[in-house]
Structure 1
């Protein structure tokens, strides 16, 4: 084997074994003289396969290939075959990732993940540039500028969507039931988080809350509203298109409604198992509760819905959620590149992993219309919002 392919195979091997948490050095691999055993045999043998594939690409491909690009593509595919959150970052990408600003960054108003290899919109911030261009949950971002999102890791996609206020980014967007992609140019801006929406239904016997995000200040607001409502007021928590928030705050919200028992579990192959148990001192209400979810319900909001459903505390109404509940570890590699590797996943009280199965509602109702909730003191339910109507119907039938 040529020295070139030995070096190239080493890069792939280093990445794989770093991901597996195994030690390595150039002289350790079987192809260079070592004989591995046990469960590692399969991984070691694959190094020979990678080497042969790369050799054939260079010798037999129709044109002289760009091996650096081939290798980077292979590493992207390797990590994304695990899950959408695991990423490989080249040395240049990783430097940008490390040096990115943490405050004052302008956005286009999108939460994105990857599905079927391409960037997919999870949710859209109301009033944002993306909202004004009518982008919606489930739309696929085929490319950013001239680069296909299939060739980009999720971390890089998110970096490309943010930038300086006033700068622009052009997306090629594929919408449901529309064969040809639309070119959309968005101007990045600093968009404030949606405000907490509050409404009263059924002669003020039901308190409707739509937080928009589950950040510390917003969860503080939710707690204040529940306390002010009293222990007999039924709660309708609307977590549709709620994709921003911290897992700790999601568990905190769940604890408002659950007095005892397991809220969630976080574990991984080498990640110490953590069991999150309800704290009775943080419990706020035993009144009936219902939660609205859709495919834009993501992350921390899914922890809330899963805990309430899994503990049989209340009804979860709407559509299956997106499926996001994991922890990533950054692993730096010798050449300056890095892995963002999923090392643990959340599971609900029922033992199902949110990342793998999402949260299936107890009552399935199709996507709501985009009508706003009426602002009257005791409004009639929106005729176009079937999930909202169903949740209100369920709560109305329960004794407070």
Structure 2
């Protein structure tokens, strides 16, 4: 993965010059500079697909072993909750937690250096950093910040599947807001460190309790399946860092560079036009642009793609006014695909809920995917895009934990994504 990421980083997309550099002739290079644009585009696309080949290998390893252990537990303990099985396997350390751990560390350092007041403001990121730089201890904190930006701030607020999503590095307001929240918690006397030791103890205690319920001839199979699951589970937890964050950050950065080349050549009116073409059409447009540049004539595709892009913009505008159906096609009687279940939360029960919605079921209910167990009551604010996360308002929630043999569960509060209108709704939501 790191080899492919580095290779994508090395690709260059430079504007076409007015004429070929003289070295093309004097050094006998035998090819036009326009060839680099075409070749590098193909390399970028191919490496991006290679990244996703590796992605599914990592998930296949993780899911394959985990589902063996999952099935073993379900047969041995029919009433065990899915999350309890996950807690026996999941790691509590590793690179998946590093971006957030670095934010916590920077928050503690800000309080220690007495520069926390400069961070807990609503000022733009540039202003905050300038104020910190003017502080006596500011240089030390800024050095710590810059030290972790590569690679840990190559991280999207949401998975980087869209070209207009930003990494922390591209929009420092995102990590600074998070650091500010941690600073406020520290000021209130709260501990912000993740309770790693406690999580390890809880995990081992759960394993010991269920292991003790097994017959002697079942223990070895349980131990082997658990050990294998723990060995490969990091691929499930950490693949996102390599793929949806690091790889996607490089990919979209290079795509933006190529889009700028099209604009500089007068082929597109604005960089955003680029994203209304699919990858095969980009290949056609790229050939048209470099061929017409080499011949010295206007590109024939400029007017064609301008009309097509205008039409597609109207389609996109119309689509954004509609709430998409939860699913399309003929649903299966039973969902058995491990990727659908584990990666997307699409279960047989979930499909039945969607079908009930389509048949005009309880239209007053808001359906979403829960992130933790229990019941929370309060105001729900519905957002449609990660850019609206800042619209979420702080509030007090009443948590009603579900029964558990070892007492109340610990909770983390996460937004529940609900594809409905943008209004606030009062509701009680049970989180399975």
TM-score normalised by L of structure 1: 0.24
Larger Rg computed on CA atoms = 2
TM-score normalised by L of structure 2: 0.23
Higher RCO by CA contacts (8 Å cutoff, separation 6 or greater): 2
- Between Structure 1 and Structure 2, which shows a larger proportion of helix residues? 2
